[in-house]
Structure 1
Amino acid sequence: MTAWTTRIPGGPDGRRIVVAALVDRIGSGLWASVSVLYFTYVSGLGVGEIGTLAATAGVVGIAGAPLAGRVADRLPLTRVLISTQLVRCAASLALLTTDHFALLLAYSALGSLGDRASSTLTKIYAIRVAGPERVRYQALHRTVANAGWALGGLVAAGALAAGTVDAYRWLLVGDALSFLACALTTLRCGEPPSPSRTVAASGDAPVPAVPASPWRDRTYLAYVATETVLFVDDAVFKIGLPLWIAHASDVPHGLAPLLMVLNNVMVVGLQVPLARFGATTAAARSLLLPLSATFVLGGAAMALSATGGPVSAVALMTASAVLFTLAEMLHATISWELSVALAPDAAQGTYLGVHGMAQSAQRSVGPLAVTAAIAAGPLGWAALGSAVALTCLGQHRLVRDRLGKPLTALGAPGRG
C-alpha cells in the first residue's frame, strides 16, 4: 500500500507534472471562489452580464479539448503545454486591465479555452510518461490537484477577510502567477514518446480496426456521449446539493459547504486506493456495474431526504454526498482507462481531445439536468440516479466488442 500511495510513475518528469498540478490548482482555488465577486465588485458587472460571461466562456472552452488533442498528435507535447499555460497566464492578467464587458468576455473565453486545453494536454502527458501505470498516475495527480484546490480556497477566504478591492486583484494575480510557475516547471520536463509520431514513422503495413478520426468513429462518439452523462456528479455538488439544501427549510444552509469539504477530503484520501481496482481495461469496465448501483443509491438518498425530519434529512443528504463522491472517484478511474483503451495509437491525442469534450459539455447540460430533477421533487432525484445508472450499463455493453481488439487507425500504419 505504501508503494501504491507514494511512488509516482514517470520518474522525475512525472513528479514535475504532479507538482505543476498542485501549483495550478492552488491558483485555480484562489480564483474560482472569488471570480463572481471580482466581476461584481471590481468590474461592476450585473447579474445578467456575469451569467452571460460564464456561459459563453464555458461554451468556448468546449473547443479546447479537441483542439489540444489534435495539436498534441502533431507537435512536441511539452512545448504545446507550456504555450497553453502562458496563454492562461496572459488571459488572467488581461482581466485586470479592463472593466469593459466585451473585453472581459473575450479574456474569460480565452482563459476557459486554455483551461480545457491544459487539462487534456496534462492527461495526454500522463498517459505517455506513465505507460501501463497511467491509472495510478492519474489518481495521484487528481489527489494532489484536489488538495491544491482546497488550499487555494482557504487562502482566498483568508485574503477576503481584509474586505478590500485590492484583495480580489491580488488573488487574480496569484492565479496568473500559478500558470507561469506551471510553465516554468514544465520547461524542465523531457518530451515523452509520442505513439502517433512513432506509429506514423514506422512504415509498417496498415492494420485497419477503427477510423483515423474520432469524428467518424461512431463507437467512440457514443462512448463520449455516455461520458457526458456520467460526469453529472460535478453538477450535483456545485448546483444540486446547495439548491436542494436551500429549499429544505429544516436543514441548516451551512451543510452545503460542509458537504463540499467532505467531497474534497474523500477524494484526497481515497482516490489513489480506489484506482487500483481499475488498473486494467477489463477491471475498469467491470467497475461500471458497482458505479451504476452507486448512482441509484445516491439519487434514492436525496429523494428520501425530503420525507423525514431535519435529523434524517441531514443524515440522508450526507449519505448521498458520500455516495456521489464514491461515484465520482469510481468514474474517474474508469474514464482514465477506457478513454485510452478505446483510442488507437495513431490518433491517441485526437481521440482523447474529443473525450475531453464530455466534461466540458457536462458543465453546460449538467446544471440543467440537476435543476430539472430538483424541480420535479424527490422523484426527480430518483429518476436522475436511475437514468445515470442505466447509462453506466449502456456504456458497459457499448465498449464490450471494441475492447481486446487491436486498435490501429484506418489509413494509419500499424503497430508492427
Structure 2
Amino acid sequence: MLLVTFLDRIGSGLWASVSVLYFTYVSGLSFAQVGTLAAVSGAIGIAGAPLGGRLADRLPLTRVLIALQVLRALASFALLTTDHYLPLLVFSAAGSLGDRASSVLTRLYATRIAGADRVRYQAVNRTSSNAGWALGGLAAAAALTLGTTTAYRWLLAGDGLSFVLVALLTLTCAEPPSITRIAATSDDALRKRAPAGPWRDRTYLAYVATETVLFLDDTVFKIGLPLAIAHSQGVPHGLAPLLLVLNNVMVVALQVPLARHGASTAAARNLLLPLSAAFALGGVTLALAATGGTLRAVCLLTASAVAFTLAEMLHATVSWELSVALAPETALGAYLGVHGLAQSAQRSIGPLAVTAALAAGPVGWALFGTTIALTCGIQHRLVRDRLRRNPLSVPPITVSEH
C-alpha cells in the first residue's frame, strides 16, 4: 500500500499545484469562477467521506478502493474534453467525491494493518505520499517552464494515468482484517455508555467541526498560495509548484521524527499548542508578503509555506491519534468517515475563506491565521473532558521505534 500511495501522489502532484492555473489560463475561467468551482466541487465531495466509511464497514476494503480510483481516473480524463464551466464543475465534483472517499479508506486500511502502531505507520505512509507529491510537483514546475496549453493538458493526463496504475496495483494488496475491539469482560458497561453512532456523538461532531478549520492548510497550498502568486506583480508563476515541492520535501524529512512527539493520546493533544503558533505565523507572513516588492514577496511566501508545512505535519500527528482515540473501534469505519467530513468540508469552505482573505489584503491573511490558531485552543479544551472519561478511546500506546 505504500507503493500505491507513492504513485497516487506523483499523479496528484502533477495536477494539484497547477489546477488553479489550468482553469485560469487554459479553460479561461475568471477568478470568481475558479474559486466557486473549487468550493462547489469540494462541497459535493463531502459525501465521499461518510459514504466511503460506511462502505468499508460492509464491503471488502480493497475492492472499494479500486472502484474509487477508477472514478478518479475517469473524472481527470473528462476534464480534458471541455473548457465549459458547467461540465468542468461536474467532472471536478466527481473527482472530489472519489478523492475524499479514497482518503478515508486509505486511513482505515492503515489503522487496521498497524493497530497500536498507527501513528508511526501513518507517518511513514505520509512520508511516502509526500515523496510522490514532490516528484510530481518538480515535473509540474519543469512543464510550466514551457508555458503552453499542451504542457498543462499533459499534466492533467498524467494525473489520470496515475489513478489507473494505482487501481491495478491495489488488486495485488491483501485485504486487511476487520477490527472488533469490544472484549467479553467489561463490555456491557462500555456498550451502555457508547453513543449509538457518530451522528449522535455530539462531542465527536464538535471535534470534527474544529478539524474542518485546522485542515485549511491544505487549501492554502492548493488555492491560497497559487492565487497569491498569480495576483502578486513580478512573482514568477513557477514558484507555486516549487512551494508545493518544498512542502513535500519537508514532510518527507520531518514527518516521522515529529510523529514521535504524538505517540500517545495525551502527547498528541499537547501538540495543539505549538500547532496554534505555527498557524498564526503562517498567516502573518502571508499578510506581510502582500505589502512589499518582488524579492520580499518571494521570501515571505516561502516563509509562509514553511510555517504552514510545519502546521500541516503537527496537525497530521494530532489528527491521526485523536480521530481514532475518540472513536469506538466497533464503528471505526463510520467514525473515520464522519471525521473525513472535516477534510471534505474544508475543500468547500477553504476556497471561499482564502479568496476572501486574498481580497481583504494583509488584514485578511492575518485574520485567517489567527482564526485557525484560536481553533487549536478550542479543540485542546474540547477533547480534554472526553479523554478524562475515556470510555471510547484506545488504551495509551507507545509508538515503536524498532
- Which TM-score band (shorter chain)? 0.7 to 0.9
Residue 116 of structure 1 aligns with an amino acid whose one-letter code is R
Maintained 8 Å contact 1:200/1:346:
no
Unaligned 5+ segments in structure 1 are 1-16, 409-416
How big is the shift at 1:254? Answer: 6.2
The partner residue of 2:253 within 269, 293, 306 is 269
Q: Is 1:393–2:377 an aligned residue pair? A: yes
Equivalent residue, structure 2, for 1:281: 265
TM-score, scaled to structure 2 = 0.83
- Residue among 213, 220, 228 paired with 2:212: 228
**Candidates 44, 48, 59, aligned match of 1:64:** 48
Would you say the 8 A contact 1:45–1:101 is kept in 2?
no
Q: Relative to structure 1, is the Cα distance of residues 189 and 253 closer, same or farther in structure 2, using a 3 angstrom cutoff?
A: closer
> Is 2:169 the partner of 1:185?
yes
d(CA) in 1 for partners of 2:233, 2:81: 43
Match for residue 69 of structure 2 among 66, 76, 85: 85
Match for 1:260: what amino acid? L
Match of 1:32 among 10, 13, 16: 16
Q: Which residue matches 1:14?
A: none
Deviation per CA, 1:314-342, whole angstroms, max 9, x where unpaired? 55444333222211110111111111111
Asked whether 1:296 is paired with 2:280, we answer yes
Conservation of the 8 A alpha-carbon contact between 1:220 and 1:342: yes
Question: Is the Cα contact below 8 Å between 2:140 and 2:241 reproduced in 1?
Answer: no
Aligned equivalents of 2:336, 2:77: Cα separation in 1: 29
Q: CA deviation at 1:150?
A: 2.5
- 1:9 maps to what in 2? none
Matched, 1:140 2:140: no
Kindly indicate whether residue 69 of structure 2 is the aligned counterpart of residue 109 of structure 1: no
Q: Which residue matches 2:324? A: 340
CA shift for structure 1 position 53: 4.6
Structure 1 residue 362: Cα displacement: 1.1
Give me the whole-angstrom Cα distance separating, in 2, the residues matched to 1:299 and 1:319. Answer: 10
Larger mean CA deviation between 159-168 and 399-408 belongs to 159-168
Q: How far apart are 1:344 and its partner, in Å?
A: 0.8
Answer yes or no: is the 8 Å Cα contact 2:137–2:244 preserved in 1: no
Could you say if the C-alpha distance between residues 311 and 187 of structure 1 is closer, same or farther in structure 2, counting changes exceeding 3 Å? Answer: closer
Q: Is the 1:18–1:144 contact (alpha carbons within 8 Å) kept by the matching residues of 2?
A: yes
The equivalent residue for 1:361 is 345
Quote the residue 1:3 is aligned against: none
The partner residue of 1:324 within 276, 283, 308 is 308
Cα offset, 1:307, TM superposition:
6.5
Question: Match of 1:112, as an amino acid?
Answer: S
**Shift of residue 38, structure 1, vs aligned partner:** 6.3
Q: CA deviation at 1:21?
A: 0.5
Report the CA distance between 1:308 and its aligned residue: 6.9
- The CA RMSD measured in Å over matched residues stands at 3.5
| Counterpart residue number, 1:216 | 200
Question: Hey, what's the Cα distance between the residues in 2 that align with 1:353 and 1:240?
Answer: 26
- Measure, in 2, the Cα distance between the counterparts of 1:41 and 1:389: 34
> What percentage of residue pairs aligned between the two structures are identical?
71
Contact 1:289–1:392 (Cα < 8 Å) also in 2: yes
What CA distance in whole angstroms lies between the structure 2 residues aligned with 1:194 and 1:107? 33
Taking the aligned partners of 1:312 and 1:51, their CA distance within structure 2 comes to: 26
Count residues in correspondence.
390
Distance 2:43 2:88 in 1: 15
Partner of 1:129: 113
Q: Which amino acid aligns with 1:88?
A: R
- The structure-2 alpha-carbon separation of the partners of 1:169 and 1:283, relative to structure 1 and needing over 3 Å to count, comes to same
Contact 2:9-2:129 within 8 A present in 1 as well? yes
Post-superposition shift, 1:389? Answer: 1.7
Secondary structure at the residue paired with 2:193? coil
Aligned-pair CA distance for 1:154? 3.3
**Which residue of structure 2 aligns with residue 414 of structure 1?**
none
Instruction: Write the distance in 1 (CA, Å) between the matches of 2:234 and 2:153.
Output: 38
Give the CA deviation at 1:76: 1.9
Secondary structure at the counterpart of residue 361 of structure 1? helix
Residue pairs, 1:156-195, within 5 angstroms: 156-158=140-142, 171-195=155-179
Q: Choose from 221, 227, 234 the match for 1:237.
A: 221
Aligned pair in 2 of structure 1 residues 130, 317: CA closer, same or farther (>3 Å)?
same
The change in CA–CA distance for 1:377 and 1:155 in structure 2 (over 3 A counts) is closer
Q: 1:396 Cα deviation (Å)? A: 0.7
Q: CA deviation at 1:152?
A: 2.2
- Offset of 1:180 from its aligned partner? 2.5
Q: Does 1:349 align with 2:333?
A: yes
* Cα contact 1:374–1:380 (8 A) shared by 2: yes
Report the CA distance shift for 1:202/1:158 in structure 2 as closer, same or farther (over 3 A). farther
* Matches of 1:18 and 1:252, distance apart in 2: 34
Output the amino acid matched with 2:325: A
CA distance in structure 2 between the aligned counterparts of 1:90 and 1:132, rounded to whole angstroms: 36
What SS is found at the alignment partner of 2:385? coil
Structure 1 stretch 318-327 or stretch 392-401: which is displaced more? 318-327
Deviation at 1:218, TM superposition (A): 0.8
Q: Which residue of 1 aligns with 2:392?
A: 407
1:146-181 deviation digits (Å, cap 9, x = unpaired)? 221232233345556777766666544433332232
In structure 1, C-alpha distance between the alignment counterparts of 2:40 and 2:61, rounded to whole Å: 28
Q: CA deviation at 1:100?
A: 7.1
Query: Which whole-Å CA distance do the structure 2 matches of 1:357 and 1:73 have between them?
Result: 17
Q: What residue is the counterpart of 1:5 in the other structure?
A: none
Instruction: Check 1:367–1:289 CA distance in 2 against 1; reply closer, same or farther (3 A cut).
Output: same
